Amino acid sequence: MTNPTAPLHCPVCAEAADPSHRICEACGADLHTPPSHRGHWLSSAAPPTPCTDCGHPEFDPHGYCRQCGARQTRTSDRVELDMATIGAATDYGKRHHYNQDALAIGRHHGTTVAVVCDGVSSSTFGELAALAAAEAGIAETLDALTNGHDTGNAAHRGVTAAAHAAAQAGTAHPDNPPSCTFVSAVVDTDHIQLTWVGDSRAYWIQDGHATCLTVDDSTIGRLAAMNVPADDERYHSPYAAALLAWLGADAPPLEPNMRAIAPTGPGTLVVCSDGLSGYFDTDDRLATLIGTAPPVKAAAELTEWAREQGGRDNISVIVAQFPPEPATAPTQETPA
């Protein structure tokens, strides 16, 4: 039980708080639960609703109605998430019937965490893996930060938890289990720690220029990263764009890509699925689209821009300021 007279600081924004209160007056977080609880991170999970076929309120972990067996997606088709200096938006686009992407954002003191997962459409119910991986990944990352792990170790623990969760999501579909990509960013006042598996990306924008910080886990991505000339025959293999790594029950052994950068000044980090990055002809295309709007508005604007380009895939975007600033109350908005 919490000592009501002991000094207390908010686990999210680190402001001094009154121990007799439950909610932080500075940022709205719950003062008496670990920061990995849902009040301190937000995801694109769809709010619980009754079955649209029979009205029954309960579903099993795979999204099947416990009464009639109908299935509903567990990810929001459209949602915006706002935690002040980090914001997110996702949209199912114009050509898909529902959203197979999932994302999550969170805060721990002066550190922000972003996770984007893109369900692989050729797998069965890829959104199950995506949502499980996104939520497990951010929860474990925040738990590790809370327990004093450095950002690199926290990020590795996060992707490991995400991989396990994605694999567990496939137990009902052993022949073609759900799978997803994964990219996370842990942003503190000095560094950005990136971790990824697959072809979801992270970009750094500063002084009007954008740089892709990740390398797609595909033959094309790896060849391009090594500056192999475009006329190399390996680019033209029918499997050149296929994923070489992913999360799921049928994934190869986990070997996440990890990269840490130390920016020399303020800038913006964008973490996204290929529903956005697939429309960039150059990295700097993103720099021309980023304005001075708050992160959640910038994420929503990028999502809408991808829709205007055709919206051929699900779109998920997280925008984070560097360096982070003190948190404000987390909110979740679902556009009409």
pLDDT at 27 over 70: no
Q: Find out whether the peptide bond into 50 is cis, omega within 30 degrees of 0.
A: no
| Amino acid at position 1, single letter | M
Is residue 53 in a domain? no
Task: Dump pLDDT digits (tens) for 233-271.
Answer: 898 898 998 999 999 999 999 999 999 999 999 999 999
CATH number for the domain harbouring residue 205: 3.60.40.10
Q: What is the pLDDT of residue 173?
A: 81
Q: Is the pLDDT of residue 208 over 50?
A: yes
Cα Rg for the chain, rounded, in angstroms?
20
**Angle (CA) 249 254 258, round 5°:** 140
Within a domain: 118? yes
Q: Identify whether the C-beta of residue 323 lies closer than 8 Å to the C-beta of residue 85.
A: no
User: Of the given ranges (57-71, 163-177, 185-199, 248-262), which has the lowest mean pLDDT?
Assistant: 57-71
Is residue 147 domain-resident?
A: yes
Judge whether 227 lies within some domain.
yes
Average pLDDT of the chain to the nearest whole number? 88
What is the pLDDT confidence band of residue 10, given thresholds at 50, 70 and 90?
low
The per-residue b/e assignment along 82-117, b for 16 or more CB within 10 angstroms, e otherwise, is: bbbbbbbbbbbbeebeebbbbbbbbbbbbbbbbbbb
Q: Answer whether residue 54 is part of any domain.
A: no
DSSP 59: B
Q: Would you state the pLDDT for residue 141?
A: 96
User: Tokens for 137?
Assistant: 């990944």
Res. 30: pLDDT tops 70: no
Residue 229, domain member (yes or no): yes
Other Cβ atoms less than 10 A from the Cβ of 173: the count is: 17
Share of the chain above pLDDT 70, in %: 86
Is residue 301 a part of any domain in this protein?
yes
Give domain status of residue 137, yes or no: yes
Q: Which domain holds residue 91?
A: 76-333
pLDDT confidence band for 46 (50 / 70 / 90): confident
Residue 301 has pLDDT above 60, yes or no: yes
Contacts 24+ apart (CB under 8 A), 63-72: 63/125, 63/128, 71/125, 72/46
Q: How far apart are CA 93 and CA 100, in angstroms?
A: 11
Q: Check if the beta carbon of residue 168 is closer than 8 Å to that of residue 182.
A: no
Q: In whole angstroms, how far apart are CA 148 and each of 104, 141, 154, 203? A: 21, 11, 9, 27
User: How many domains is the chain partitioned into structurally?
Assistant: 1
Question: What single-letter DSSP state applies at residue 289?
Answer: H
